[in-house]
Structure 1
Amino acid sequence: MLKKYLSVLVIAACSTVATAADSPFYVGAQISATELKESEAGNSASFDFTTLSALAGYHFTPYIAAEVRLGTGVKGESYRELDYSEKLSVEMQSMLLLKGTVPVTDIISLYGVAGYASTKFKYQERATGFSFSDTETLDGLAWGIGAGVKITPRLTATLEYLQLPDEKFSDGPYNYKLKTNNLTLGLNYQF
């Protein structure tokens, strides 16, 4: 009788392990070089940031997945002279993306992503007796391409270019255009 129970337990444990190995869920971490380009009447300026993100994904099929990404800036642009300082940073970055993957070999795959993204930039200006801060959020359609390389059956390194939402606006007689993008290195773990 005891052998029957042990046999059932071993079979149940093995089937649980097999199910866990085929889990459609994955998580990851990314570091991105985020660029903000501002242009107005032929003049342009570029600002560079470093963003760290965490992601969670779900494979509907081996070729189609959905991802949620949340990130924050860890390095921004700053300027200081005597008692005056300016700082521009990424306060938050969030995305909901659909991902289509095409395997090239057993370990290399190419993919495309598209979906909704939002990046919130924060500007701060300080001097003696003066302080000002403002935020600007660029949100909308994001799309990009990337490549993945399997390090182990569960661990994949990724390299990705993502075109983030643009924005056009006017301030008096001036017309501005803001463009953002990410160049990202990532590591994903498949459950």
Structure 2
Amino acid sequence: MRPLLGVVLLLMFSPAQADWEWDFLTRGHWYTGLQVGYTETKIDAGTAHPVTLHALGGYQFNPYLGIETRIGLGLNDDTVVDDVEAGIDSYYGLYLTGTWPLTDWVKLYGLLGATNLDLEANDQPSQRSDSATDLSYGVGFSLYATEQLSLNLEVISWVEKGRFDVSALNFGVRYDF
């Protein structure tokens, strides 16, 4: 225990400590946004394209790294074949975001996290519901209209399970505080 304590104290008071920036948590900012998505929902019977809407919020630790949460719902169901309709009931997720500023007004970003998604399928006269949580990933870009307001376009894969696969093309707006 003493050697470990000695190493910790040595590191705390070493000259290298002066270069460490501990204020990375206070240099960031909060943001919020809204996105509409055109999804590709693959189920056993075929593919549906329901529309979704979600709110997002997050914290940007620095220009390159952030954390984000999203909660959304399906706005409509889509016909897969004949009498079979499918739609997204609701979803939520937590993501780590990596941002690459190309210019002051254009930024590329990536998302990596987990999404829980509830899907409904209606094949008259019965209705089925299924839920899954999976690793999610996506890429997109933001165009800043002002220093705080941006438009974004992204492609994201929410769930890739054997029962169903859901991915989306999302378009939205984000406001940085």
Which deviates the most, 152-161 or 177-186?
177-186
Match of 2:106?
Answer: 108
Match of 1:156?
Answer: 150
Q: SS at the partner of 2:50? A: strand
1:184 aligns with 2:175: no
Between the two proteins, the alignment pairs up a number of residues equal to 151
CA-CA distance at 1:79 after TM superposition: 7.9
CA-CA distance at 1:86 after TM superposition: 4.6
Q: Is the 8 A contact 1:138 1:166 kept in 2?
A: no
Superposition pairs of residues 16-35 of structure 1, within 5 angstroms: 24-35=29-40
Q: Deviations over 1:29-61 (max 9, x none)?
A: 00001111235xxxx721111000001110111
1:141 aligns with 2:107: no
Q: Is the 8 A contact 1:23 1:190 kept in 2?
A: no
Match of 1:53?
Answer: 54
Distance in 2 of aligned mates of 1:111 and 1:185: 14
Amino acid at match of 1:31: V
- Higher strand fraction: Structure 1 or Structure 2? 1
Q: Is the 8 A contact 1:69 1:94 kept in 2?
A: yes
Q: Which has the larger radius of gyration?
A: 1
Change beyond 3 A, Cα 1:95–1:30: same
Q: Where do 5+ consecutive residues of structure 1 fail to align?
A: 1-21, 169-176
**TM-score computed with the length of structure 2 as normaliser:** 0.78
Distance in 2 of aligned mates of 1:135 and 1:118: 13
CA-CA distance at 1:144 after TM superposition: 0.7
Amino acid at match of 2:73: T
RMSD of aligned residue pairs (Cα, Å): 2.1
Superposition pairs of residues 155-174 of structure 1, within 5 angstroms: 155-168=149-162
Q: Is the 8 A contact 1:72 1:92 kept in 2?
A: yes
Amino acid at match of 2:102: V
Q: Where do 5+ consecutive residues of structure 2 fail to align?
A: 1-26
